[in-house]
Amino acid sequence: MADKIPVNIVTGFLGVGKTTAINALLAQKPANERWAVLVNEFGQIGVDQAAMPDEDGLHIKELAGGCICCALGPALRAGLATLIRSARPQRLIIEPTGLGHPEGIIDTLQGGSFKDVLDLRAIICLLDPQLLEDPRVMAHETFQDQLNLADIVVLNKLDLAAPTLVDKAMQGLQGLFPPKQRIEQARHGRFDISLLDLIRNDTLAAQFPDSHNQQQGQAPDPLQPLLLPAVGKPVRRTGQGTDFVSCGWVFHKDEVFDYDRLESMLNHLDGALRIKGAFRIGYVWVFYNRVLDSHDIDKIAWRRDSRVEIIAPEALDWERIEQQLQSCIEPA
């Protein structure tokens, strides 16, 4: 390959709007360019791909079931090699899980067989100012290092954050050393595509450089059956990490959910830090996204199946939640 492929990591903690931001970047993609997106999710099911567009010139690969920074390290290398060979992209974007430490990905991209193929450019970290009110997040080493290792920080969801929190975030970011190349403000994850071409600052360092070796997540079991549910028999997968647990379900594509019952059930589910899912509602499919107590629902092009992933600080009553989900399915 004559020219290196420019690659960016779009990072940020759970629920900051990474997938929305990448979709906004994809909307700016020149029509004649081939792009690839590698998406990593902490949960075992994989939901984010359902929220991304399906169009010519775009190749999306999803790695679920752990963190590509550590537990899925071999899967990251294999996934990258496959994506580069099959898609021959002119630009690559990597979206790690919100619980992922970026350092492991940086090491992979700049080492081994990839250093002569990939050109790592600015690392972009999204920050929701509302997270500054959550002491669990503020104390989390991965959250801190996502900001430390970023060249650009984008304050997102400004339409939801109080002005005092935005000011607090700006003051804190402007006090970081080395200073960030850019600090941007965004709504709905929209920022200019030109930021992707800023050069990476190799002097940035992690405050907790060993934390990604102890990170949460586990590699998927290759002996597990494929996610092929039958009607009335969803497939369930659970994951266990250092600080969080996950549980996800996949439902048959012919099963139709009642919108009102489903929204009420997911909105009132206690103990969840993050819920995201793709559901068939009548003749349309929607993407449900909840972070703490805030949620939104949008139409999507996904038609493969209905699926949902829940991330929580500790295990919930997964059996009861599965029964609640099934009660939201309309009779055949």
Beta bridge partners of 235: 250
Q: Where are the domains of the chain?
A: 5-214, 235-327
pLDDT band at 123 (very low <50, low <70, confident <90, very high): very high
Mean pLDDT score, 262-288: 94
Positive/negative CA dihedral, 308, 313, 314, 316: negative
- In this structure, CATH architecture of domain 5-214: 3-Layer(aba) Sandwich (3.40)
Q: For 70-134, where are the alpha helices, taking DSSP H only? A: 73-87, 103-109
C-alpha span between 161 and 176 (Å, rounded): 21
Q: What does pTM read for this prediction?
A: 0.78
Per-residue pLDDT for 165 more than 50?
A: yes
Beta bridge partners of 274: 291, 311
Mean pLDDT score, 44-67: 75
Q: What is the pLDDT of residue 52?
A: 74
Q: Does domain 235-327 have CATH number 3.40.50.720?
A: no
Question: Which residue in the block uniquely carries the two structure tokens 């939201």?
Answer: 328
Question: Which residue in the block uniquely carries the two structure tokens 């984008």?
Answer: 154
Q: What is the pLDDT of residue 205?
A: 77
Quote the Cα angle for 305-229-52, to 5°.
25
